[in-house]
Amino acid sequence: MPESILEVIALTPDDARAAADGGAGRIELVTDMSAQGLTPAPATVAAVRAAAGLPVRVMLRDTDGYAARDATALAMTARTLRDAGAQEFVLGWLTPAGDVDLSALETVLAAIDGCPWTFHRALDHAADRQSAWQAIKGLPGLDGVLTAGSPSGVEAGLGTLLTEAGNTPPVLVGGGLRQHHLAPLLGAGVRAFHVGSAVRPGGSFTLPVDPHLVELWRRILP
């Protein structure tokens, strides 16, 4: 078994199938990448789970940005997605002041009832990054934090990522991740990586995942 996780963003069953064919270990399922990834339809969740044969983390996000527009509605959506077969999730919100929105998190975590989940890139936009880390530590089911180390992406945030490589929960590095970033991240002990545009022709989300590009990433990783 690979020592590292390669997570690929999928929008469709075909994306998921291509990611699996290329050797991905997990899918992050979203819709509408023009809004940086929103919650997909329940039917898409069921179809992707059937197509991929991989763990699928389903985005819970109702609007662009990092605020929870309606946490109660998000919790209801989470229950609907669980009925459609979702077993893993991606979520995480900030208050208008830039603090972790623990109230919204608690509302939705009650609905996913212990399912494993990733805290997504809201961390990179928090007013105080260290306080955000402390706020999410120990939340039930949390087993990874998707981060680029900076709102501007991995290239700008690499130094931060290297200092956080040993954090608990562990970092899942994504957001402008490129292959030249892997050597320093692996050297620091990072073992979870997240790609989207990098495994699509021309880096465009208007084109499907290319299994050959996924395979190139998988070959580099331990």
d(CA 26, CA 20): 8
Helices 42-52 + 13-22 axis angle, to 10: 30
Give the burial class of 187: count Cβ atoms within 10 A of its Cβ; 0-12 exposed, 13-18 middle, 19 or more buried.
exposed
Residues 174-217: tens digit of each pLDDT? 999 999 999 999 999 999 999 999 999 999 999 999 999 999 99
Position 143 confidence tier, pLDDT thresholds 50, 70, 90: very high
Residue type, position 172, single letter? L
Residues 23-80: tens digit of each pLDDT? 999 999 999 999 999 999 999 999 999 998 999 999 999 999 999 999 999 999 999 9
Under 8 Å CB-to-CB from 61, ≥6 apart: which residues? Answer: 30, 37, 38, 39, 90, 91, 120
| Domain tally, the chain | 1
Task: Please tell me the predicted confidence (pLDDT) of residue 2.
Answer: 73
Question: Domain of 208: which CATH number?
Answer: 3.20.20.380
pLDDT above 70 as % of the chain: 100
Average pLDDT, the chain: 97
Structure pTM?
Answer: 0.97
Domain of 151, in residue numbers: 5-220
d(CA 97, CA 27): 31
DSSP designation for 210? P
Pairing type for strands 5-10 and 192-195 reads parallel
Task: Decide if pLDDT at 1 tops 60.
Answer: no
